[in-house]
Amino acid sequence: MSVEPTPITPELSAYIADHAGGRDAALLAVERETAALGELVAMQTGPDQAALLELLVRLTGARDAIEVGTFTGYGAIRIARGLAPGGRLLCCELDPRWADVARRNLDAAGVGERAEIRVGPALETLRGLAVEPAFDFAYLDADKSGYPDYYEELVARLRPGGLLAIDNVLMGGRVVDPADDGTRAVASLNDRALEDGRVDTVVVGMGDGLLLARRR
């Protein structure tokens, strides 16, 4: 049986975030620090989605993970926490200011030794990595116009059974009628992933939309 999705009011959204497990003092401190940045807080991965990322990392038994777009490190902390013993997370971040903040927050959350942050354009970082299946988990959450290129570089480097999670695939609802470059790029990526024989995909209607692609 299918039902109409429950409309997510601001109250329900807050309720969902409040029921995300694992928001310990370190994560709450990052939430507060990021909220103090004003409108930039919109860039942070939501608490419920970040909790889901950690759960997915655990469920896949991932050891090697990569994040494209790290900001203040909120999602990175949760990904790093989900990794199997000995696991490693490579964070790609363009802005050295955010890289410094993320480094401090990862350290404060007790997962600093699991994470490396590479500062610079993520596409250069990705293309500098060997083209071989090296990652069990990837999270894409950076500049939207780059999504199609990031997607190709990431899928090529996912191990069979590895999972790619892509944020903002609904673009605030604009994806159904794209009128700007970023939204067109995301819409073309959503179509590409659906037709891509290398992966199994689903769009999860959480937050601004999370596309999951599992490498066959």
Ligand X SMILES: C[S@@+](CC[C@H](N)C(=O)[O-])C[C@H]1O[C@@H](n2cnc3c(N)ncnc32)[C@H](O)[C@@H]1O
C-alpha 108/C-alpha 49 separation (Å) is 21
For residue 38, count other CB atoms closer than 10 A to its CB.
8
The residues, ordered by sequence, that sit 6+ positions from 87 with a Cβ below 8 Å of its Cβ are 62, 63, 64, 65, 80, 114
- Report the residue number, 33 or 143, with the smaller CB distance to ligand X: 143
- Find the part of the chain contacting ligand X (CB under 6 A) among 93-101, 129-137, 178-186, 194-202: 93-101
For residue 212, count other CB atoms closer than 10 A to its CB.
18
- Find the part of the chain contacting ligand X (CB under 6 A) among 18-26, 63-71, 103-111, 195-203: 63-71
SS3 content of the chain, % helix, strand, coil (to 5): 50, 20, 30
CB of 99 to ligand X, least distance (A): 9
Side chain identity, residue 85:
P
C-alpha 39/C-alpha 80 separation (Å) is 26
Q: Does 106 bind ligand X (CB under 6 A)?
A: no
Binding mask 142-181 for ligand X (x = CB under 6 A): xx--x-----------------------------------
Q: Does 111 bind ligand X (CB under 6 A)?
A: no
- Find the part of the chain contacting ligand X (CB under 6 A) among 10-18, 64-72, 183-191, 197-205: 64-72
Q: Does 93 bind ligand X (CB under 6 A)?
A: yes
CB of 216 to ligand X, least distance (A): 26
Q: Does 31 bind ligand X (CB under 6 A)?
A: no
Reference 34, options 91, 97, 101; nearest CA is 101
- Report the residue number, 11 or 20, with the smaller CB distance to ligand X: 20
Among residues 71, 135, 137, 147, the one that binds ligand X under rule CB under 6 A: 71
SS3 93: strand
Q: Does 43 bind ligand X (CB under 6 A)?
A: yes
Strands (E), 56-177: 64-68, 88-93, 115-119, 135-140, 158-167
Interface residues toward ligand X, by CB under 6 A: 43-45, 69-71, 74-75, 92-95, 98, 121-122, 141-143, 146
